[in-house]
Structure formats: C-alpha cells, structure tokens
Chains A and B, each alone.
Chain A
Amino acid sequence: MAKPRAQLLQGNEAIALGALAAGCNFFAGYPITPASEITERMSREMPARGYPFIQMEDEIASIGCCIGGSLAGKKVMTATSGPGFSLMQENLGYACIAEVPLVVVNVMRGGPSTGLPTNVAQGDVQQARWGTHGDHPAIVLCPASVAQCYELTITAFNWAERFRTPVVLLSDEVVAHMREKVVLPEAHEVEVIDRRQPTVPPDWYVPYKTDGSLIPQLANLGEGYRYHVTGLVHDERGFPTRRPDEVEPFYNRLFGKISRHFADLERVRAVQLDDAEMVIIAYGCTARAAAAAVRIGRERGLKVGMLQLMSIWPFPRRPVEEALTGKRLALVPELNMGQISREVKRVNDGRTQVLRHGKMDGSMITPDEILGRLREAK
C-alpha cells in the first residue's frame, strides 16, 4: 500500500504543523505540560527549515523574544499553559498596544497557579480576554478537534498578520493530547495572509498613520525605516503623547481596526439546530461531549442541537443570538464555573432560559451529564 495521506496526529502536533503551513518562521518558548509537544515538534521542524527555534529561560522571555522577532518581520508563535500564560500577560498587552502580530497558544489545564498540571480545564477563558491590564481588543480562537487545531492555527496567524495584533489560540489538555485521523491540505490549498508593508520611501514614512483600514503599515526593523516602538500611548510618529486629541483617536483606532470586522471574526459550527427546541452552546473539548449528547439525545427523541464556538473573543454575539431565538432552553457546559455561560446570558436578553453546567474536578464533561442536565431542566 502506498504511504497513506491520512495521518494520526495529536492536537498539539497539528498546531505545530498549522503554524508551519501559515508561514511561521520564528518560535521561542518554554516547555510546559500540556503544551510541551508543540515546543518539542517545533524544536525539530524549525531548524530543519533553517528557521530559529529558541528555548528561552521562561515564558516572559519567550513572548518578549517573539515580539522582537515579529518586529523584525518574522511570523512568530509561542506556546504555553496557564502558569506561563499568566507570566506572558504583561507582554501580551505590549504586543497589543505596539500592534505586533503574534500567535500565543495557551493549552488550558487546571488552575489557578500550578493547579492540576496534567488535567483538563477551561478556566482561562476570561483570562484570555482580560488577562492583561487596560481595556483592549482581543481575538481568541478555540479548537475542539485535531483538524480544527490545524485550521485555527492558520486562521490565528492570518488574523494576527492582517490586524497587527496578538491572537490567542486557546486549546485544552484533551484536545491537545487527543489523536485523530486527519488529512492535511496541500500547501497550495492553504490561504496565507502576510502583513502589509510600507509603500512610501523611508523619508516620507509616518509609521502609525493609517489609511482607511485603521491598520498601520509598520516596516520590518532593519529594512531602513526608522520608527519608535513603545508600550506608551503614542502619536502617529510613535512617540508618547498625553494629548486627549491624540489619545482618543489612538484608542478608537486600536479598537476600531478589529470591531469593524466583528462579523468576519465569528467562527461557529451549528449541529442539528434547525428544528431544535434545546440548544447546547459549547467550545473546546466540551463541544465533543455536546455533539455526542446531541447524537444520543436525538436517538431518544429529544429535539436538541449544538452551537460550537470556535471563536470566543470577540464573543460571537450574532450567531449566539440566532441560536437562542425560539429555543425553550439553552445549556452551556464548561470546565469552569460559568465563564462563557455568563456571556451567553448577557446576549440572551430574555430570549430563553439559559442554564450553566460547570464542572471542575479535572475530568471531561460526559455526554450523559449533559443529557441528565437537559432532562432535569425539562
């Protein structure tokens, strides 16, 4: 038999391969369970392609290194889990305000602190949104399968480059370590977006002045364009400013460059929602239990469907509203005490009854638990 094109891949490996397909050419990281396989795979793949792989002394240095690499024009990624993600928060804010394209993978495990290192959890959902201080936009994607790990990593790179912003890929221990059969697309089938470059000569260059896109065309450092990079609020030339007439447009642009594309940033998957009376809204590994609950529930005559959230920030308000409309009941199962059910309730606006099903014992939510909860609520 010829070498089969299908392969058995782990979620973490698929993230590494997705990064390479998206054009990642710089990786710095510090291994941590349950994200280590990403770093491990990159430590072999990157040098083999002549790209830098750097194991840093900790996670603060890892993301710092990635910010530097990105400013020099590299497409960068780092990967970590809860404790490392906490350490990265300060620099994540820096990347946000300095508009540095960056992909950060956070594979969720039990927390806070060292928590449950080898167990699954979904406790970093709000941290991924609000972990760094100051009000800021955030883009966070959440895979539920090995194939989605690959696809969403590519999406994360494309959005980071397009919007010049950090993008967080929020995986979890089950999805990270799960192996599934996947057929990866050929290189030419993958859409890759690269950041725009300045079109004016260096002498005319005003780094943070933007065209209608609101997204600056920042030059790669070392190519002859000189500009100032800072974590302070800055003017069009990149120098610190406190003038309200410059500060306000700065923030408006930082939010606006993303909020005007909310509709493009919504990634959801609907399963048997058309005739459903009850909807399960789920993300990450929990979406797998929800899909099984839909299958088993339908066999028993329950009219139940699922909406899987693959993008969780910006919160996909419109598809969630649509999924809630006309339903008798919505259930939000998650491995925390209600971080997304709170958002669902926020957009629900009296449409339907929204129940949360939180679990924090280090194990997966099972289809039976979800079905039991639906039965209780009937």
Chain B
Amino acid sequence: MSEKQAQTLGRVETRLAGSGGQGLLLAGLVLAEAAGLYDGREVAMVQSYGPEARGGASKAEVIISDQAIDYPLCTRVDLFLALTQEAADAYCWDLKPNAWIIVDSDLVSHPPSSKAVRLPFTAAARDKLKKPMVANVVALGAIAEITGVISRRGLEKALLARVPAGTEALNKKALALGAKLARDAAGQAPAEGPATAHTEDM
C-alpha cells in the first residue's frame, strides 16, 4: 500500500460485508462508481447474498486498480469493512497482513484483529442523523478518509448520482460524519494505533 500516493494504483481488493439490508450492495456500487467513473481507475465488482430480503450474510467485493483487472474476486483482501459480527467472522480468513480492517464498534464486538479501526457507524447514523439506514454511507465516508483508495470528491459525486432524489443533503451529511468519525478516532489513537499507522502507511 506504500505507493498509495503515487500516480498509479496497484490491485486493491476491498470487501464490504454485513447483513442483508444494511446497504452493502449500494455501498459497493458507489465505491466502484467513485473509483471507476470519477477517479478513472479500472474496477470490477461482485456481490453475494442469500435468498433473504433482510438478514443473512451479504457482501460486496470491489477490485480497484490502474491495470486491467483479470480475476474479479478477492484473493487477498486489502480493505475489509464488517458491519456485523457474523460477517467479520465469516469473511476475515483471507485478509492481507496490514490490511485496513474497519468495523462497526457496536455490532462487531470481536474484530478479526486488535488493529481494526472501530467506529460507531450505525449508532452515529441513528443518533446524529436520525436515520440508521445511512450507516453504510457513514462507513464509506470513513473508508475514504482512512484509506485514500478513493477520492472524497469522486465518492460524493458517485453517491449523489445513485441515491434517491430528496436524500442528497442527508447523504452528504452522512459522508461527512463518517470522515469526522475516522479523523477523531485517528486523533485519539495512540502513536502505533491502527488508524494512525495506516494513514502514515499511505
């Protein structure tokens, strides 16, 4: 990940996982469109979900690269977002060492690594925005802030092109909230803390 600030991006494998209904497919779509259509990268995205409308493990995988993407699935994950304990347990076995691990601090009590960044996406969406359903967007805001894999501007444009009319202001607030959560956590973390370590790594 050390060439993150350089002009070209090697293959970055991202996995967004949680429970059906948490909006991870939409989050994956927005992430892929932000990177592919606005940041000008190559992208491939796959999704998997159970037959349920709500509940059941759900994940979206987005590969981002400046080279043509051959294998469209994750093989060694660089960025892992987990919004439930079940998803954190089920999909953590192929993470790269030093992968960015970002989890919902209230819904994931045992993250796969002590270096995971724990942020209260769902609680913040519920308490600060009165809309728990935008937890996925809050998480995207944090991902952009922590990893830099996608630009904040591209993310915002892709998001506003996707969400229903009338919800633009709410979604922009949710993105900003996610970024703020990530910044605050980075500020509080000890010197070797996960968030700080990762941002320096960029």
Is B71 within 8 A of A177, CB to CB? no
Q: Mark interface residues in B57-85 (1 if CB within 8 Å of A CB, else 0).
A: 00000000000011111010000000000
Category for how many chain A residues contact B = 20 to 34
With A6-B37, A291-B71 given, is the CB distance from A178 to B44 under 8 Å? yes
- Which of these, B29, B43, B50, B70, contacts A181 with CB under 8 Å? B43
Once the chains are docked, how many angstroms separate the CA of A4 from the CA of B32? 14
* Total of A-B residue pairs, C-beta within 8 Å: 63
* Chain B residues close to A by CB (< 8 Å): 29, 32-33, 36-38, 42-48, 50-51, 69-73, 75, 157
Q: List 28 A-B contacts (CB under 8 A).
A: A1-B38, A1-B157, A8-B29, A8-B33, A8-B36, A8-B45, A118-B48, A174-B72, A174-B73, A177-B46, A178-B44, A178-B72, A179-B32, A179-B43, A180-B43, A180-B44, A180-B72, A181-B32, A181-B36, A181-B37, A288-B70, A289-B70, A291-B71, A292-B70, A292-B71, A292-B75, A295-B70, A366-B75
A364 within 8 A of partner (CB)? yes
Once the chains are docked, how many angstroms separate the CA of A366 from the CA of B13? 15
Is B75 within 8 A of A178, CB to CB? no
With A6-B37, A8-B37, A366-B75 given, is the CB distance from A181 to B46 under 8 Å? no
Is B71 within 8 A of A367, CB to CB? yes
Q: Mark interface residues in A174-187 (1 if CB within 8 Å of B CB, else 0).
A: 10011111000000
Q: How far is the CB of A363 from chain B (nearest CB, A)?
A: 9
- Which of these, A1, A4, A367, contacts B75 with CB under 8 Å? A367
A58 within 8 A of partner (CB)? no
Is B71 within 8 A of A174, CB to CB? no
A197 within 8 A of partner (CB)? no
Is A4 within 8 A of B70, CB to CB? no
A368 within 8 A of partner (CB)? yes
Instruction: Output the nearest chain B residue to A306 by Cβ-Cβ distance.
Output: B70
A289 contacts across to B, CB distance below 8 A:
70-71
B157 contacts across to A, CB distance below 8 A:
1
A7 within 8 A of partner (CB)? yes
A residues 266-300 touching B (CB-CB < 8 Å): 285, 288-289, 291-292, 294-295
B75 contacts across to A, CB distance below 8 A:
292, 366-368
A292 contacts across to B, CB distance below 8 A:
70-71, 75
Is A178 within 8 A of B70, CB to CB? no
A residues 208-235 touching B (CB-CB < 8 Å): none
Is B37 within 8 A of A179, CB to CB? no
